[in-house]
Chains A and B, each alone.
Chain A
Amino acid sequence: DQQVKQNSPSLSVQEGRISILNCDYTNSMFDYFLWYKKYPAEGPTFLISISSIKDKNEDGRFTVFLNKSAKHLSLHIVPSQPGDSAVYFCAASPANSGYALNFGKGTSLLVTP
């Protein structure tokens, strides 16, 4: 069963605008959430993370928002750049799970000039 869901397989955004990628989860034991970016033929690259004690975390152009009551998180990229075009994966893990991440199936972001 898919415990982490990214319901939008793809997203197209104009350069300079905001990209919003969404992720929903079903397991209330998830305590830590991460976003990864992946280019073809490469491994995922860590972008940003958030623990369940926070509702927002920022790192440069990237901000992750967590709504625990809705079991929803989102990644905002502002401003979007063509180099951001990649597949973005949301991942989650319960507390004390070691490093067993549950991944969504990804959203392919295309940033057009």
Chain B
Amino acid sequence: KAGVTQTPRYLIKTRGQQVTLSCSPISGHRSVSWYQQTPGQGLQFLFEYFSETQRNKGNFPGRFSGRQFSNSRSEMNVSTLELGDSALYLCASGTGYLNEQFFGPGTRLTVL
């Protein structure tokens, strides 16, 4: 069974630009969550989508948004990029069993 895939793996943007990251969950998983990992804050929950609906949202500004398609693939978008948005963005998909989540390799975003 293929794992969670994320594209692109690396991205360099400049301040003020916007970016879209993509995630394909494990086949059969209907939940996709996004996390931001930075050295200072660790792993922080961004949002979760289930059957195309946002089910949970973390404490991030409105510049961070996402969506989920009917095939469960998900995208997250960050608008008006700031230097502090430089991070590893991780996507995880869920089995529905006891909150287990399986993570993708992440997208490393660098904002210059």
Within 8 A of A (CB), among B87-112: 90, 92, 94, 98-106
Q: Are A42 and B105 in contact (CB under 8 A)?
A: yes
B90 touches A43 (CB 8 A): yes
**How many A residues have CB within 8 A of the partner chain?**
24
Residues from chain B with a CB closer than 8 A to the CB of A106 are 42
Q: Could you tell me which residues of chain A, from 95 to 113, have a CB within 8 Å of some CB in chain B?
A: 97-106
| Chain A residues engaging chain B, CB cutoff 8 angstroms | 32, 34, 36, 41-46, 49, 51, 89, 91, 93, 97-106
Which A-chain residue is minimally distant from B97 (CB atoms)?
A49
Instruction: Specify which of B44, B48, B56, B106 is in contact with A43 (CB 8 Å cutoff).
Output: B106
Interface membership of chain B positions 67-99, coded 1 if the CB is closer than 8 angstroms to chain A and 0 otherwise:
000000000000000000000001010100011
If A32-B99, A45-B103 touch, does A98 touch B45 (CB 8 Å cutoff)?
no
Count how many pairs of residues, one from A and one from B, have CB atoms less than 8 Å apart in the complex. Answer: 69
Give the size category of B's interface with A: 20 to 34
Contact B48 A99, beta carbon cutoff 8 Å = yes
Residues of B within 8 A of A (CB): 4, 31, 33, 35, 42-45, 48, 50, 55-56, 58, 90, 92, 94, 98-106
> B55 is contacted by which of A34, A89, A98, A104 (Cβ under 8 Å)?
A98
